[in-house]
């Protein structure tokens, strides 16, 4: 992957403070806003369908997260998504627990079909479900990540979109090229909402970078780098509470010059 643009993109976010509008879940909504601010973007959250559609129409990116989906939030997501679509605002869809219940299966497929988001970011079970493959999950957790690179490429190819899949290994694909993103830390799985935060970072990069494969990879790479730094900074007696805080610290201290992702991307195109 061409990554020369990465340094520029973090600089662009900090210069432009792009508006990243979210419909997200109330578990992680504070963290999603704070990671956008840490990176340099301007987050705005909304729930009312008319309100969020108006905000989305002049946003630089729209993030839709299914974490606490219900009939009202689905209506708001469709309204905001159509407003974004009409104005060329890129959409990031995070289909949380997509295959876990009939409500989520229906909502995630409806959003995928009707909005054709530029980027779908999910865990293994979510991506496999949307790719039409058997998937095993329990609540919000994926229980089977085998063959995930392939599922990522299949879903991307079928819809002509960019797909990012996170798990023990993370992948991004535009259906033609598929990359593994290296690094990270097991701590990221021990704080709720790190997956949601990745979607907010991906949205922030998509706000300034129209090569969405690059934007998705950079959002994930930024989270991995920050996670590695946060884990490395933990003092004796500090656990997941401090990892959470140090993760936001590390994102807020990322400088364009030190966002070195040398060796973070491996081409695994089948």
Task: Provide DSSP, 122-182.
Answer: EEHHHHHHHTT----EETTEES--TTHHHHHHHHHHHHTSEEEEESSSEEEE-SS-EEEE-
Question: Which among 24-32, 82-90, 157-165, 201-209 is the span making contact with a second copy, rule CB under 8 A?
Answer: 24-32
The window from 23-31, 87-95, 151-159, 178-186 that contacts a second copy (CB under 8 A) reads: 23-31
CB 256 to a second copy: min, Å: 15
Q: 122 with 92: CB under 8 angstroms?
A: no
Query: Is 75 among the residues that bind a second copy (CB under 8 A)?
Result: no
201 versus 217: smaller Cβ distance to a second copy: 201
Which residue stretch of 4-12, 17-25, 116-124, 174-182 sits at the interface with a second copy (rule: CB under 8 A)?
A: 17-25
Q: Is 241 exposed, middle or buried (0-12, 13-18, 19+ CB in 10 A)?
A: exposed
Which of 8, 87, 110, 138 binds a second copy (CB under 8 A)? It is 138
Burial classification of residue 11, based on how many CB atoms lie within 10 Å of its CB (0-12 exposed, 13-18 middle, 19 or more buried): middle
Determine which residue in the list 8, 15, 26, 266 makes contact with a second copy, applying CB under 8 A: 26
User: Considering only 62-70, 81-89, 152-160, 211-219, which stretch makes contact with a second copy by CB under 8 A?
Assistant: 62-70
**DSSP 3-state assignment of 121?**
strand
**Of the candidates 75, 238, 266, 269, which one interacts with a second copy according to CB under 8 A?**
238
- Give yes or no for residue 87 binding a second copy (CB under 8 A): no
Q: Does 132 bind a second copy (CB under 8 A)?
A: no
Q: Give DSSP secondary structure letters for 41-68.
A: -EEEE--SHHHHHHHHHT-SEEEEE-TT
User: Which residue number, 70 or 114, has a Cβ lying nearer to a second copy?
Assistant: 70
Q: How far apart are CA 243 and CA 228, in angstroms?
A: 10
Is residue 63 within the footprint of a second copy (CB under 8 A)? no
d(CA 268, CA 179): 5
CB of 55 to a second copy, least distance (A): 6
Report the alpha-carbon distance of residue 90 to residue 118 in Å, rounded: 6
Q: Please name the residue that has the structure tokens 């496999």.
A: 128
Binding of a second copy at residue 231 (CB under 8 A)? no
Distance CA 202, CA 207 (A): 9
State which of residues 12, 55, 80, 207 lies at the interface with a second copy (CB under 8 A).
55
Quickly count: other Cβ atoms within 10 Å of residue 130's Cβ.
25
Site string for a second copy, 147-186 (x = CB under 8 A): ----------------------------------------
Binding site for a second copy (CB under 8 A): 17, 19, 21, 25-31, 33-34, 37-38, 42-48, 50-51, 54-55, 58-59, 67-71, 97, 100-104, 138-141, 190-193, 233, 237-242, 244-253
């Amino acid at each position: 992957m061409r990554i020369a643009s990465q340094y520029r993109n973090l600089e662009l976010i900090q210069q432009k403070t792009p508006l990243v509008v979210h419909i997200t879940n109330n578990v992680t909504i504070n963290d999603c806003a704070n990671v956008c601010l840490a990176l340099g973007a301007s987050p705005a959250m909304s729930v009312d369908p008319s309100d969020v559609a108006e905000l989305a129409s002049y946003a630089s990116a729209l993030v839709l997260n299914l974490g606490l989906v219900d009939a009202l939030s689905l209506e708001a997501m469709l309204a905001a998504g159509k407003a974004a679509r009409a104005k060329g605002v890129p959409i990031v869809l995070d289909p949380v627990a997509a295959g876990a219940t009939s409500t989520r299966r229906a909502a995630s497929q409806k959003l995928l079909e009707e909005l054709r988001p530029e980027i779908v970011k999910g865990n293994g079970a979510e991506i496999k479900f949307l790719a039409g493959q058997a998937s095993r999950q329990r609540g919000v957790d994926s229980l089977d990540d085998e063959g995930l690179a392939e599922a990522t490429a299949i879903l991307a190819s079928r819809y002509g979109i960019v797909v990012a899949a996170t798990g023990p290994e993370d992948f991004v694909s535009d259906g033609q090229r598929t990359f593994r993103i290296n690094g990270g830390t097991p701590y990221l799985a021990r704080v709720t909402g790190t997956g949601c935060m990745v979607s907010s970072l991906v949205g922030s990069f998509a706000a300034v970078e129209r090569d969405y494969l690059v934007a998705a990879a950079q959002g994930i790479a930024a989270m991995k780098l920050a996670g590695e730094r946060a884990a490395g900074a933990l003092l004796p007696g500090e656990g997941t509470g401090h990892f959470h805080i140090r993760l936001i610290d590390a994102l807020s201290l990322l400088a364009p010059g030190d966002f070195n992702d040398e060796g973070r991307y491996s081409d695994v195109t089948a």
